[in-house]
Chains A and B, each alone.
Chain A
């Protein structure tokens, strides 16, 4: 059960009065990826009193952590998060200003500290920590830019009196470091805010760490999406894969094609206006999260047909149209005309370098029934191989999207059906059956891959299923070192068939946290007991 104040490290209060020479390391977690000394250091080498380790609530576990028993206290009325000397970012950096306020609130806002009732400093043994200074090292901090696949999320954190320092090449690392710092600050039994002297060097193992939400099967109100972005930031996720439209509904309000949502959304108030979309993108940006929209075609498009006539393939039965429709019609020029316009809008609305184009689960039966399509197949010499038709369509879309200088993400079928992909296309591997083999194939073909197959979190089950997500090793497939490098990360997917705002949060979290650590932390961070110890604190803190 979670103590009401979510006091993660009450036992740390036991260490009151201990003044230890800094060189004596009583608690050390050396998990630097480069230090491959062979055996995992034995827990007995560094066990602290009971399980009072200050890193007992760090999630995801940083690459390299060193904590000391010496503690510093923080006074909410005096403690400040500031820009350090030499930082290329300053008060004009809105992103950091916003983060300072947010993290201050996370650390101190929960407990109703009073500004009166000041106790003289001498009454406590611990020195006071007055500031966390944030220093951005790169010449151009990136304050006003959007995070990208190549963004640098590394940071160095040194917590020592009188001032702690957080150094990061770019603001994205500073955001990650602020989250970690906030996880180190804890309250003791008396309500005092303490932090152990620590040193942390951290960076993510994988650059693409995402969460997929599906707003078509069930509409998700803005609040749900924003709350989820907060939770993602707590777990250092950096990609929000917005599967925004699908068969069931089209909530995206398009500027060029307003009929799409007018006719395709569940109802007129269950839409995302351009303002809503901007809000999501900016809210995400301030948390270092990229928003990759997915406009899945040619399958999964029933709702598109409501607002866009002559886009979907009319299905036939015995020479007559049945009145129902199938995937996007790949043989009409108007299809590509529409897509050119549509993706022009998408490319300008969504600033990320990548757009997800879907391409999964295309049902060929409607195409097979349509005489025009059959005619086209003959003309193109595709025979009866409809995968070729699908690839023909997909390639056209890829070209269209490329012309807008956007990179493309696709589901694995696009690769499996042998479409011609650009070298920097990202293939999302989602089919659970033998996904290791698929990773080998995709990376073997020189393409980058993102893994989702073992992380379909919509597949709920009884008990602690977070363990099975945690135990996945994304690089466990046969391939060269070069191939392994092509796996840029993964995504936890929460498909919406059985999910809406009433159950999203408890279903996704903290199960997705397991994926978050797997994608950020070092590959040798696999101990389930240790993970459980940290995860239970982390989960209560997230609440």
Chain B
């Protein structure tokens, strides 16, 4: 009959043709992920400039293969030309609020590949715990992890994640968020955090990293030296968000420093002072950096290729922020409308889908500075028991 599919000679091979050599490298922001897929009578050809495009094409090919009621595998004649609209398509996992066993991370990388995500933003440490086993500073995880034996990522674990990701064309961008979000660093690095004061005496509590002592910068240099070697991606995420100034304000030495430097009562200047030096350190290590939007909002001097990560979402203000960031000439990443940890009833995927990252006021040159975005799965209420159904 006219409309019946004609079963042509069974296809036996998908030929994969990659024009640029290099299987052993790591994907980067500049990697070309375009591919062409051509399925016709007699031949199936997947051609891509790079292996990364080939990976994307394989995923698409696997989605085209169907199975009929008899169980026969088939594929329609197809022509596909594909490439990503945005080069940075990421997912953030938070392994500090709740430890995520290796298998949960690897499983997530698999599903990311199904969805053509290409950046795993590993928010590896934070206030509640420090699971990253540092070779330079082993005490950090020994004292800072939820359990130093069971809730840590060894160097081997980290290598496993990086390689597993690489094989799927996924970059691993580690985030060591400072100077805030660092409570778990304290126990393993005495003297690093600011001691808070109650009047004239220390309260016993600690705040953000102490920006006024040289030891801080020595420590940070050594740590990031290690981190830069361990994580091969050009970019590191340096955090810089939600720095609470109360502890700094309470500390007399810090207050004295503020006066000395002429910062007055503007602690944003102190924050910038720290961040500036951090960025210089990381630059000198040959890495680029991504920072949360506060670093931009607080007028820190940034390198032109800094990527600003826009995350604050109060009443669609993020579009204004995107405009501001790009107008100032910086690259931007959007996460604000994609905080997937904020669950709600029903088909909330629709709201996420409707977001148009470029729907802010700006000239085309600005729009071109938007590298992409990231879906964030913060871990306050997420662990291995509910990660997968919450995220996907």
* Interface residues, chain A, with chain B CB atoms under 8 Å away: 1-4, 458-464, 497-498, 502-503, 505-507, 543
Question: What's the nearest-Cβ distance from chain B to residue A111, in Å?
Answer: 14
- Chain A residue nearest to B347 (CB atoms) is A498
User: B342 in the interface, Cβ–Cβ < 8 Å?
Assistant: yes
Shortest distance from the beta carbon of A56 to any chain B beta carbon, whole Å: 19
Known: A1-B99, A1-B129, A462-B344. A502 touches B389 (CB 8 A): yes
CB distance from B45 to the nearest CB of A (A): 36
Contacts of B386 in A (CB 8 A): 503, 506-507
Check A463 against B381 for contact (C-beta < 8 Å).
yes
Distance in angstroms from B2 CB to nearest chain A CB is 28
18 A-B residue pairs with Cβ-Cβ distance under 8 Å, sorted by A, are A1-B98, A1-B146, A1-B151, A2-B383, A3-B146, A4-B150, A458-B345, A459-B345, A460-B343, A460-B344, A462-B341, A462-B342, A462-B344, A464-B381, A497-B346, A498-B347, A506-B386, A543-B385
A39 to B20, CA, bound (A): 78
**Which residues on B sit within 8 Å (CB–CB) of A506?**
385-386, 389-390
Interface residues on B, range: 20 to 34
- What 1/0 mask marks residues of chain B from 373 to 388 whose CB sits below 8 Å from any chain A CB? 0000000110101101
Q: How far, in angstroms, from A4 to B346 measured CA to CA in the complex?
A: 33
Main secondary structure of the interface of A (DSSP, over half): loop
Does the CB pair A461–B343 fall under 8 Å? yes
CA distance A2 to B151 in the complex (A): 10
Q: Is B147 interfacial (CB 8 A cutoff)? A: yes
Least Cβ distance of B17 to chain A in Å? 38
**Interchain CB contact (< 8 A) of A503 among B98, B129, B380, B389:** B389
Given contacts A1-B146, A506-B389, A460 and B345 within 8 Å (CB-CB): yes
Enumerate chain B residues within 8 angstroms of A497, measured Cβ to Cβ. 346
Q: Are B389 and A462 in contact (CB under 8 A)?
A: no
- Distance in angstroms from A512 CB to nearest chain B CB is 14
Residues of chain B contacted by A460 (CB below 8 angstroms): 343-345
Report the minimum CB–CB distance from A54 to chain B (whole Å).
23
- Nearest first, the 10 closest Cβ-Cβ pairs linking A and B are A503-B389, A506-B386, A1-B146, A462-B342, A459-B345, A502-B389, A4-B150, A506-B385, A462-B343, A460-B345
Which residue of chain B has the shortest Cβ distance to A2 in the bound complex?
Answer: B383
With a CB–CB cut-off of 8 A, which chain A residues contact B390? 503, 506
Q: How far is the CA of A196 from the CA of B128 in the complex (A)?
A: 32
Which residues 327-355 in B have Cβ within 8 Å of A in the complex?
A: 341-347
Q: Which residue of A lies closest to B344 (CB)?
A: A461
Among A1, A3, A462, A506, max chain B CB count under 10 A is at A1
Contact yes or no, B343 A4, CB < 8 A = no
Contacts of A543 in B (CB 8 A): 385
Bound-state Cα–Cα, A460 to B129, Å: 27
> In the complex, what distance in Å separates the CA atom of A57 from the CA atom of B128?
23
Identify the closest chain B residue to A456 (Cβ).
Answer: B345
Decide yes or no: A3 and B381 within 8 Å by CB, A460-B345, A461-B345, A462-B343 being known contacts.
Answer: no
Report the minimum CB–CB distance from A506 to chain B (whole Å). Answer: 4
Is there an interface contact between A462 and B381, defined as CB atoms closer than 8 Å?
A: yes
When C-beta atoms are compared, the residue in chain B nearest to A464 turns out to be: B381
Residue of B nearest to A501 (CB): B389
What is the 8 Å Cβ interface bit string for chain B, positions 134-152, against chain A (1 contact, 0 not)? 0000000000001100110
Pair B147/A4 contact, Cβ less than 8 Å? yes
Closest Cβ–Cβ distance, residue A84 to chain B (whole Å): 38
Collect the chain A residues with CB atoms within 8 Å of residue B388's CB.
502
Contacts of A462 in B (CB 8 A): 341-344, 381
Set of chain A residues within 8 Å of B129, measured between Cβ atoms: 1
Q: Name the distance in Å between A504's Cβ and chain B's nearest Cβ.
A: 9
Q: How far is the CB of B186 from chain A (nearest CB, A)?
A: 18
A503 to B150, CA, bound (A): 26
Residues in B neighbouring A464, C-beta threshold 8 A: 381
In the docked arrangement, what's the CA distance between A503 and B392, Å?
Answer: 10
Most chain B beta-carbon neighbours within 10 Å: one of A3, A461, A506: A506
* B331 nearest CB across to chain A (Å): 30
Taking CB as reference atom, which chain A residue is nearest B381? A463
Note all chain A residues with C-beta closer than 8 A to B147. Answer: 1, 3-4
Minimal beta-carbon separation of B383 from chain A (angstroms):
8
**Bound Cα distance from A464 to B147, whole angstroms:** 24
Question: Chain A: which residue is nearest B128 at the CB level?
Answer: A1
What residues on A are CB-neighbors of B345 within 8 Å?
A: 458-461, 498
Residues of A contacting B341 with CB < 8 Å? 462
Q: How far is the CA of A502 from the CA of B383 in the complex (A)?
A: 15
Given pairs A461-B345, A462-B344, A506-B386, 10 additional interface contacts (CB within 8 A): A1-B99, A1-B128, A458-B345, A463-B381, A497-B346, A502-B388, A503-B390, A506-B389, A507-B386, A507-B389
A1 contacts which chain B residues (CB < 8 A)? 98-99, 128-129, 146-147, 151, 383
Shortest Cβ gap from B122 to chain A (Å)? 18
Interface 1/0 per residue, B262-278 and A, CB below 8 Å: 00000000000000000
Question: In the assembled complex, which residues on chain A have CB atoms less than 8 Å from the CB atom of B380?
Answer: 463
Q: How far is the CA of A505 from the CA of B341 in the complex (A)?
A: 18
Within 8 A of A (CB), among B145-172: 146-147, 150-151
